[in-house]
Amino acid sequence: METFQLIQGTYNGAEAAEVLLSVIDDKIKYHNKKNFSLKERFGVESEESTKRLKELKADRKKIEEMIENPDNKSAEFTISSSINITVNVLA
């Protein structure tokens, strides 16, 4: 397994929103494209992508609420995110 540090730093509210929401928005776009492609070709959507879209949209809303919370107006946000990749060789 390899681990890569994707996000590491302290950000003001606007920067935190830009960093976090851009990652989530890219994942939302990915799953929307996957569903669109499957629907166009086979008339079905991916259950996995549909489920993940709901989760991502809920996460996006929570992040927006956290950053926009008046109590956090002058706060800094320390964000750390790593990605673990395992290569599974198929026979």
The tens digit of pLDDT for each residue in 44-67 reads 999 999 999 999 999 999 999 999
88 within some domain: no
Q: What is the dihedral of CA 64, 65, 69, 73, to 10 degrees?
A: -10
73 has a pLDDT exceeding 90: no
Cα angle, residue 63 at apex, residues 59 and 69 outer, rounded to 5°: 140
* Structural domain boundaries, residue 30: 2-71
pLDDT confidence of residue 43 = 94
Percentage, residues of the chain above pLDDT 70: 100
91 within some domain: no
55 within some domain: yes
29 within some domain: yes
Instruction: Please state the pTM of the whole predicted model.
Output: 0.87
91 has a pLDDT exceeding 90: no
89 within some domain: no
- Whole-number average pLDDT of the chain: 96
66 within some domain: yes
Question: Total domain count for the chain?
Answer: 1
